[in-house]
Structure 1
Amino acid sequence: MPDRLALTQNAQFYREDVALTNEALCSILDAASDNKTLGSAFLIDKTDEIRKLKDGTEFRFSLRVFPTERPVHFWEDPLSDLIHALILVIQVDGHVAVLKKSCASISEVIEKHLTPIKSSDLTASFSDDEAEFQKISMRNMTVSERAMRSKAYEAADLKGLLSLHAAGRSIPYFFKLKLNGRIKTISAQSGRVVESSERKSLDDIVSWARQQIEQIKNPSGDKDFLEAFAQLVDLDIVWNNTQPTAVLVESSFVVDNLLEKNVPLFYTTRKGRTFELTGKQLRALISQLETVYEIIPGLDFKLNGTSRPASLKKNKSSISLDVPALRKIKLEDNGKELTLQSFINKNNLTTISFSNPQYMYFMGQCFKDGAGVNEIPSLLKSFVVIDDLAMATSEKGDYKPARKKFDSSSVFGLIEKHCSKNDYIFCDDLGDEWADHIVFNKKECSVSFIHSKHGDMSKSASNLHDVVGQAIKNIGNMDIDLRAFGKKYDNKLLMNYRDGTMPRVRRKLHGDFKKYLAELRQDYRFNKRCIICCSFLSRAQIESEFTKLQKGMRVPGNITQMFWILSSFVHATKEAGVSPIIYCRP
């Protein structure tokens, strides 16, 4: 019967710390077949079988093929599709390759018996020079609600094309590459390797798996390209030397794989009543999952700001979320009932930052920033002190339609005073807003996008979310397309602010602005400056806290978040060829 298999080269790889016993194999197979249709029989059921390849090499395998039902979610009445599932466990040279399709989750069981092959081991199995990196997806080392969290790049070969500036703060989690004429993909999250080919027999799949394992056991030393990115580190090393400070659930995965596929979620009350979550309840759930929660210092790792008890739990090789309320929400996954907490932990959806900002836990693994706190001196150079910001009392002041200018004690008023020697100052606040102020200077060949936020002096990271998010969102507009800016100039900037008497043109030169702009934009020295103006930030206070970070001293979780947010802003702008500037009080 196994000779009838026709499989693709798609497997997850593990290491046997201790040889799998018959009992362990049965527990893996039982977990995988937990969604077998009731009363049905296995098409194949083999445990710890020995088989020889053509060259006489022996290998062991366990295999189950069985029918299962997949629920149909677009139909109100109970309806399901009958499909067949597969679990194949191949044991070769102290390693295990697992091929599965449509079976129930085995992650909890397999973690007890096997160690996943790390992404660094998978990528070390080939030389950078031999591979053409056609696609890389990566996660930025940030938990900010407003910062860019992930990005993907595609090219015939990204080596030499992809800027490695700030690569040390990026965690690659998916690779598509061309190696020896074959297309291969590697998923860091699951330890999965997929290689394009026609469907193959069991023996051919085993030969392929052996080849992958041999490459893993004999890594290449040539990693100039990949070593520029964040590096994998052992969880125990991080856990024993630093404290978790904030946690974020990758809620987009929940939305994409559950809500958008109309997978129903059911909540069980204390009295045992079960009902389906809909509309407002689902929105409230996602809103809570999207929130970044600080972790209260202590041994129980409780989350701060949650409406119900929640904490983190350190396992053998992972960190999981422990939330009783999420255990009351249930769903069906491949025919098996699962709690939402189990779904989140099974898919490694928790991202965690630490008091040492060099480290981040992502997709079930810990990574170390290649640059990290060493960047603090250069980050501090982006701060520009404006003394008057210490006297700011509001963002825009007491606006009235008859007013011609902003209050002198408002952040907007102080910015216009600070920029008064430039050629043009436009107030682009409200509506189709690219920035609060857009400033042009021909002598310096520059355009500045200024995004302002007022607040009392604070070390809270929450004030930074909006202003940094707005700044990063508008980086693409800083190239100043002449047609697009001309349209904005005619339709908005020549109008008065909020339909009052205050002109949006806050300063101008005599002459034709569009001609001025065309000449400025054509100048080879043209440069772009992205500025966030934060009256709540103190240069002295930030330098003091960041210096503690650099020395490895314990700081509150909000300081670590602040570092990541500001660092994300600096790197996002520099990557786009834009100079980052942070206006602050002394």
Structure 2
Amino acid sequence: MTKNAQFYRVNEPAEDELVRNILDTASENMNPNSGFVIDVFRQERNIEEQNLSFVYSAKAFPSSRPVYFLEDDFEDKVYAFILIIEIGDYFAILKKSCANIFDLMDENFTLVGSKEFSSSFSDDDVEFQRLALRNMTVSDRAMRSRSYEAADLKGLLSTHSAGRSIPYYFKLRQGAKTRSISGTGRVIESSSRETIDNIAAWVSEQIGLIESPSNTNFLDAFASKSELNEVLKICSPNAVLIESSSLFDRLKKDGVPVKYKTKKGRIIGVSSRVYKELESALEKVYDIDPDLNIADVNDGSRIRANKKSLTLYSKSLAKFRVPENGKLITLQKYIVKHGFYSVTFGDPKYMYFMGACFEDSSGMSEIDNILELFQSIEEIPAVDSEKGSFTEESENFSEDSMFDIIEKIHAEDDYIFCDDLGDEWADHITFNKENSNICFIHSKHGDPSTSASNLHDVVGQGIKNLGSMYFNAPSMLSKLDKTFKKNYKSGKGVQTKIPRIRKGNIDDFESYLANLLKDYKLNRSCILCCSFLSISDVTKEFNKIKEGQPVRGNIVQLLWIVSSFAHAVKDMNVRPIIYCAK
């Protein structure tokens, strides 16, 4: 076999009955009327030259699974196997094409997390070459996951807001060895095929690494694992998100069709329309009420709080079926087995993901960093609209509109362009040679509030247009000819006399832009101008979170959204700023 195993910690000595139950469950997809090629139960072996004793159990058997790329009723005959190696207080599971044993293992053992493996390496010993992160948010306006790859990510990857990021996969090199470690407790090491004795020696080596963690590690800056039962004592789940992109990517990659069980018990393939409706439904974030029922679904869907896990129950998802290892299982079971769901809590520093609970390790300093994004603008309380009213004779935006205030705030900049409507990069784009700065400004007006919904839209615009901030000269000059040289036309179709070039001599712009883009000090700012927010209100509510006081759900969402905005912008080497009232 290759070195590819999942590691579990034994909570109490495993009885023969439990081990036999695991083996029997794994072999439930064995072909009828066929026998085991290998059938070994808890046999002890000794490797004298390595002074190693271990116990192993194994089953290998023929199994069949449907072939989906042919229309006729073909089957693919494979040989499945499961190997259990017991060393000390650990079980290592190596398996292929077996039936699902996830529920049984999760109920009786503790999965060894990816950070437990990573903590066994010193930064001086390894090169982190690939890293996949899940942000601790379920906001539909926030970046949910990211991945990075480099010769060595240490020193290259910004750890801003790292405490709110869960590492769920990483690949590292240690000398000549390359390991991949996932959040599901799976370790894969590049190797040729090995005998059971050599695999057992490798398992023993991994256990030794787990048992002797180093002092510091690159991944210590990221979210840390917490005991679910301890988290549930202090806060309750408040929202669930199906990781729909991961789910459907997996289904499409493996060529797995989705089927549906009718009221009469027939299993039929779903149409493309139903498939799209299912995708759309699973993209949403669903609130969880205090009784752990999923709100606004009305089919008895709920979150079940088990001793060590949160599982999803849904009658709607149970009606859909997907084939796995030759058997049809419910889509609900498939989602739970593969960890394709996330649960957030009333306390925003916790999140349940891929079968484990995580805590934001950045602590309360993250809130202080977030509050530094806000800048108070004296004129904002007087704002009464986003753009004001227009007539065909209008030459400027209305007094006390957001657009007018922005142009006053940036009056010292060299160039100000209004890019609102159409193929917009921002509401305003400004240039300042003295400060070596380019600003993309997005404005949103609303009544004073700490509601997260107003911020959703403007944050979405800001993040969506981050890529445009690294424009080249030809693309900006093209926008100048196609958009900025025209007068502003309102969204209601009123053609005004307001020039989109709000400030600056356009005849000099081409040479000005060329010099600015060559400036080694050039920096960029993504600015949100939000008349509905005030620093005092936000600070008051965020400080409650710091002090462990209860806050309304919208405050938690507001914190997630602002944190995600800051994280996404800083990842692009852009400065995040939020203009608001005092």
- TM interval, short-chain normalised: over 0.9
Q: Equivalences for 1:507-526 in 2 at 5 Å? A: 507-509=503-505, 511-526=507-522
Change (3 A) 1:43 1:177: same
Q: Equivalences for 1:152-191 in 2 at 5 Å? A: 152-188=147-183, 190-191=184-185
Q: Equivalences for 1:58-69 in 2 at 5 Å? A: 58-69=53-64
Change (3 A) 1:378 1:366: same
Change (3 A) 1:259 1:463: farther
Q: Deviations over 1:185-213 (max 9, x none)?
A: 1112x101111111111111111111111
1:507 positional shift = 2.3
Change (3 A) 1:77 1:541: farther
Name the residue aligned to 1:3.
none
- Does residue 290 of structure 2 align to residue 294 of structure 1? no
Change (3 A) 1:394 1:268: farther
Distance (Å, rounded) in 1 between the aligned partners of 2:378 and 2:34:
77
Name the residue aligned to 1:245.
238
1:241 positional shift = 1.6
Q: Deviations over 1:213-238 (max 9, x none)?
A: 122222222x2422222222222222
The amino acid of 2:293's aligned partner reads K
- Does residue 273 of structure 2 align to residue 277 of structure 1? no
What is the Cα-based RMSD across aligned positions, in Å?
2.4
Distance (Å, rounded) in 1 between the aligned partners of 2:404 and 2:299:
44
Equivalent of 1:37, from 6, 13, 31?
A: 31
Name the residue aligned to 1:53.
47
The amino acid of 2:461's aligned partner reads Q
Q: Deviations over 1:108-157 (max 9, x none)?
A: 01122221112232112222211111111112222221222222222222
Equivalent of 2:472, from 467, 481, 502?
A: 481
Change (3 A) 1:336 1:443: same
Q: Deviations over 1:445-490 (max 9, x none)?
A: 3211011233333333233233212212322332342233223223
Equivalent of 1:505, from 494, 501, 507?
A: 501
Change (3 A) 1:84 1:224: closer
Change (3 A) 1:455 1:80: farther
- Does residue 102 of structure 2 align to residue 107 of structure 1? yes
The amino acid of 1:519's aligned partner reads N
Moved more, 338-347 or 271-280: 271-280
Q: Is the 8 A contact 2:161 2:563 kept in 1?
A: no
- Does residue 88 of structure 2 align to residue 93 of structure 1? yes
Distance (Å, rounded) in 2 between the aligned partners of 1:462 and 1:260:
35
- Secondary structure of 2:293's partner? coil
Change (3 A) 1:16 1:260: closer
Distance (Å, rounded) in 2 between the aligned partners of 1:120 and 1:149:
20
Name the residue aligned to 1:361.
352
Q: Is the 8 A contact 1:357 1:373 kept in 2?
A: no
Name the residue aligned to 1:333.
324
1:584 positional shift = 2.3
Distance (Å, rounded) in 2 between the aligned partners of 1:156 and 1:445:
32
Equivalent of 1:563, from 536, 559, 563?
A: 559
- Does residue 525 of structure 2 align to residue 545 of structure 1? no
Name the residue aligned to 1:492.
483
1:506 positional shift = 2.3
Moved more, 273-282 or 566-575: 273-282
1:176 positional shift = 0.9
Q: Is the 8 A contact 1:357 1:372 kept in 2?
A: no
- Secondary structure of 1:199's partner? coil
- Does residue 129 of structure 2 align to residue 134 of structure 1? yes
Change (3 A) 1:285 1:181: same
Moved more, 92-101 or 539-548: 539-548
1:510 positional shift = 6.1
Equivalent of 2:305, from 285, 307, 314?
A: 314
Change (3 A) 1:134 1:378: closer
- Secondary structure of 1:103's partner? coil
- Does residue 525 of structure 2 align to residue 529 of structure 1? yes
Distance (Å, rounded) in 2 between the aligned partners of 1:288 and 1:89:
39
1:390 positional shift = 4.3
- Secondary structure of 2:190's partner? strand
Number of corresponding residues: 576
Distance (Å, rounded) in 2 between the aligned partners of 1:252 and 1:395:
35
The amino acid of 2:421's aligned partner reads L
The amino acid of 1:353's aligned partner reads T
1:387 positional shift = 4.9
Distance (Å, rounded) in 2 between the aligned partners of 1:537 and 1:305:
29
Distance (Å, rounded) in 2 between the aligned partners of 1:492 and 1:65:
68
Change (3 A) 1:484 1:211: same
Change (3 A) 1:467 1:309: farther
Q: Is the 8 A contact 2:166 2:358 kept in 1?
A: yes
Distance (Å, rounded) in 2 between the aligned partners of 1:399 and 1:250:
45
Distance (Å, rounded) in 2 between the aligned partners of 1:449 and 1:376:
24
Q: Is the 8 A contact 2:118 2:217 kept in 1?
A: no
Q: Equivalences for 1:368-387 in 2 at 5 Å? A: 368-387=359-378
1:261 positional shift = 4.4
Q: Equivalences for 1:206-285 in 2 at 5 Å? A: 206-221=200-215, 223-259=216-252, 261-272=254-265, 274-285=267-278
The amino acid of 2:236's aligned partner reads Q
Change (3 A) 1:409 1:79: farther
1:160 positional shift = 2.4
- Secondary structure of 1:129's partner? coil
Name the residue aligned to 1:149.
144
- Secondary structure of 2:191's partner? strand
1:392 positional shift = 4.6
- Secondary structure of 1:312's partner? strand
Distance (Å, rounded) in 1 between the aligned partners of 2:13 and 2:206:
19
Q: Is the 8 A contact 1:245 1:556 kept in 2?
A: no
Taking structure 2 as the reference length, what is the TM-score of the superposition? 0.92
1:438 positional shift = 0.6
Q: Is the 8 A contact 1:247 1:295 kept in 2?
A: yes
Change (3 A) 1:84 1:393: farther
1:397 positional shift = 4.6
1:388 positional shift = 4.7
1:334 positional shift = 1.7
- Does residue 78 of structure 2 align to residue 83 of structure 1? yes
Distance (Å, rounded) in 2 between the aligned partners of 1:78 and 1:248:
36
Name the residue aligned to 1:193.
187
Distance (Å, rounded) in 1 between the aligned partners of 2:79 and 2:390:
67
Q: Is the 8 A contact 1:133 1:178 kept in 2?
A: yes
Unaligned runs of 5+ in 2: none
- Secondary structure of 1:200's partner? coil
1:242 positional shift = 2.0
Q: Is the 8 A contact 1:171 1:367 kept in 2?
A: yes
- Does residue 454 of structure 2 align to residue 466 of structure 1? no
Distance (Å, rounded) in 2 between the aligned partners of 1:468 and 1:352:
22
Q: Is the 8 A contact 2:444 2:529 kept in 1?
A: yes
The amino acid of 1:29's aligned partner reads L
Equivalent of 1:454, from 440, 445, 464?
A: 445
